[in-house]
Chain A
């Protein structure tokens, strides 16, 4: 099936630092989503992207839909302890509107 490569797998950062993570695909996507999952809970939608080149912010979070339509980036500025969790990207292929493909997640740890 479709593969999404998400990196890095995990990050250990100091409170106040900025964070970047990304997802790449071998296929063209028409939608990119970014989710955050806390332990034992379901993923919560952070940002949705629908157009190539689109840059969208949600508070300290900024995500971009890559120009090639094969990648997406998520940045978190001035990290705080509650940013701890697993961040997932999800993409919808241009030929299949019925399914989202998910990356394997980036586990973020923030040291106070």
Chain B
């Protein structure tokens, strides 16, 4: 089966611009998660979708970040306006069953650089 796909793999934008990251989970996986690693820090949870509903968005850093999952398939994460501290690698993961005891499949990530 195809894995979790993220694109673009790299994005370089100027401060103040808008960027949209996309994640295609494994087909049939209702649970979709976003994580990120900013420079020098650990990987941090951002939010969790169950189908099209946000189950937990406690990790979203501020209102410049907007995640959507219309139709319960792919998800987008928009950063508007981007700031320098948003630079990092953004990972998406999916799982078939809710509950982390079953393991998540991660994508390779989108490396975002804000200059």
- Chain A bound to chain B: no
